[in-house]
């Protein structure tokens, strides 16, 4: 019986496309899905390829070379556990399961430990790039046992996106680091998307632009230093016509954003690690605010607001590009700072230079800007924060005045620009030598005897504050 190099469980859009990508690169691959419809689609689209679909999990397992390499592309959560429960008893020692969905990193830690007891290698691998990426070259973030990774390295490198010949995949680190890094990738994705949405709002309601002008601005920015996948997608959105009405599709979509949770997880972890990522947090909260449509309609009527459109929109458009550039740098800076902290706390041994490198292509947050970020970490691999890099400092210094101007205009006009505003206040906090946090300490000590540290002596102190009588 013919043996196959790699197997895929879950033949939905992502699984099927990744399998076709592997087959394109000359690998003999096989797939399994409970749903016969998925097997039928695979058979149709894979006619020309060296691949086979199985309706029986046992036959699928038996078709694979040893040690087996099995990729799971099933919805994150309980389904991953049930697939593992069915699969692991029929595997052999040394086989490898690679969970490529957006699983929570704590689930990956738990699953890896449980499977280790059965001498099975469990990898958590984030994949980014959507349907198109899976088919023609995604960015991949695998984490787990390093020795086991060598059995997958060649396949992953060949199917990944490439930038200047470098594959957009690398061994991320031990444990659940692969899924952790993918989660933070998504947090950055949320922040970038929110900034682009706010730029749309500023152009529409602060500058009086029509959709065509907004489309032109996004398309133009995508020709320059803001060139990125998300900018390109955004420009395309503003050119897409709804067949049903003949209107632009953007005007036919409800203003209530959904999410699957990876952004929220990033914010939750940042709180656990006491590591601020305010723009990502605001992006998560803004999606949540958008869901309160009924309340928003009520409050819009209670607090009517007039915006005054300035005349110098050409100058404002230039400033908005600069503000966006600053803010996009900050999205990466916050996400990478979180990775820097997580690497130390969870012993993930993350190489931020390599992470910036594999994000340059294939993934949703790929952008021209990542080249500078990659260079910053190449110069200083232990860099704590991107804002400490001289080249990045030059870029944010030159665009900061525009960020302030755009925010001022937006605030005066009552535009909800939570991501832009938090970008600026985060920066202003970080570049402030003396924050008013001494008052927080005094208040805590006043009402709760929580103690404080002094500027002129080491140790812990408590003051006998004057009592307050209510």
| Residues engaged in binding ligand 6PG (CB under 6 A) | 102, 128-130, 186, 189, 259-260, 262-263, 363-364
Q: Smallest distance, Å, CB 189 to ligand 6PG?
A: 5
Residue among 130 and 414 whose Cβ is closer to ligand 6PG: 130
Q: Which residue, chain included where needed, has tokens 């952790």?
A: 180
Residue 96 CB-density burial (10 A; 0-12 exposed, 13-18 middle, 19+ buried): buried
Q: What's the per-residue H, E or C state across 82-108?
A: HHHHHHHHHCCCCCEEEECCCCCHHHH
Catalytic, out of 189, 282, 322, 354? 189
Residue among 193 and 320 whose Cβ is closer to ligand 6PG: 193
Strand, helix or coil for residue 465: coil
Q: Smallest distance, Å, CB 190 to ligand 6PG?
A: 7
- Whether 178 and 144 have beta carbons less than 8 Å apart is answered as yes
Query: Is 182 an annotated catalytic residue?
Result: yes
CA distance 330 to 424: 9
Residue among 120 and 237 whose Cβ is closer to ligand 6PG: 237
Q: Cα(first)–Cα(last) distance of the chain, in Å? A: 86
Catalytic, out of 52, 182, 264, 395? 182
Q: Smallest distance, Å, CB 182 to ligand 6PG?
A: 7
Tell me which DSSP letter residue 387 carries: G
Residue among 209 and 229 whose Cβ is closer to ligand 6PG: 229
Question: What residue is closest to ligand 6PG based on CB?
Answer: 128
Q: Smallest distance, Å, CB 290 to ligand 6PG?
A: 12
Residue among 170 and 262 whose Cβ is closer to ligand 6PG: 262
Q: Which two tokens stand for residue 196?
A: 């682009």
Q: Smallest distance, Å, CB 286 to ligand 6PG?
A: 12
- Whether 62 and 95 have beta carbons less than 8 Å apart is answered as no
CA distance 451 to 444: 7
CB proximity list for 89: less than 8 A, separation 6 or greater:
none
Residues acting as catalytic residues: 182, 189
């Amino acid at each position: 019986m013919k043996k196959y190099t790699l197997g895929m469980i879950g033949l939905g859009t992502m699984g099927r496309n990744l399998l076709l990508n592997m087959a394109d690169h000359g690998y003999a691959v096989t797939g399994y899905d409970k749903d016969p419809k998925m097997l039928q689609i695979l058979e149709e689209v894979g006619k020309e390829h060296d691949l086979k679909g199985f309706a029986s999990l046992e036959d699928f397992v038996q078709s694979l070379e040893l040690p087996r390499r099995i990729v799971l592309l099933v919805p994150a959560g309980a389904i991953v556990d049930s697939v593992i429960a069915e699969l692991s008893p029929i595997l052999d020692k040394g086989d490898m399961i690679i969970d490529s969905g957006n699983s929570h990193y704590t689930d990956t830690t738990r699953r890896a430990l449980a499977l280790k007891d059965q001498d099975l290698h469990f990898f958590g691998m984030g994949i980014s790039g959507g349907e198109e990426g899976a088919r023609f070259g995604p960015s991949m973030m695998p984490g787990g046992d390093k020795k086991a990774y060598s059995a997958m390295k060649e396949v992953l490198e060949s199917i990944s996106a490439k930038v200047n010949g470098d594959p957009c995949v690398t061994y991320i680190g031990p444990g659940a680091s692969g899924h952790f890094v993918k989660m933070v990738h998504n947090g950055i994705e949320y922040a970038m998307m929110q900034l682009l949405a706010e730029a749309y709002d500023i152009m529409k309601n602060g500058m009086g632009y029509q959709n065509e002008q907004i489309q032109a601005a996004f398309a133009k920015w995508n020709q320059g230093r803001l060139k990125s996948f998300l900018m390109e997608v955004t420009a395309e959105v503003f050119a897409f016509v709804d067949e049903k009405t003949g209107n632009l599709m953007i005007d036919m979509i409800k203003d209530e954003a959904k999410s699957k949770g990876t952004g929220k997880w990033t914010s939750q972890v940042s709180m656990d690690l006491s590591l601020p990522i305010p723009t990502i947090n605001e992006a998560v909260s803004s999606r949540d605010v958008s869901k309160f449509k009924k309340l928003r309609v009520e409050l819009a009527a209670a607090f009517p607001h007039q915006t005054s459109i300035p005349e110098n929109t050409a100058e404002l458009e230039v400033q908005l590009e600069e503000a966006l550039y600053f803010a996009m740098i900050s999205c990466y800076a916050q996400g990478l700072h979180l990775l820097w902290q997580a690497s130390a706390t969870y012993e993930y041994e993350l190489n931020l230079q390599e992470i910036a490198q594999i994000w340059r292509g294939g993934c949703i947050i790929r952008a021209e800007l990542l080249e500078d970020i990659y260079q910053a970490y190449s110069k200083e691999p232990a860099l704590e924060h991107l804002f400490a890099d001289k080249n990045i400092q030059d870029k944010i210094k030159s665009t900061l005045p525009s960020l302030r101007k755009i925010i001022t205009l937006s605030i005066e006009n009552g535009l909800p620009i939570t991501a832009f505003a938090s970008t600026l206040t985060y920066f202003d906090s970080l570049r402030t030598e003396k924050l008013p946090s001494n008052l927080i300490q005094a208040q805590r000590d006043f009402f709760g005897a929580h103690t404080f540290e002094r500027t002129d002596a080491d140790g812990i102190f408590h003051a006998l504050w004057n009592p307050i009588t209510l």
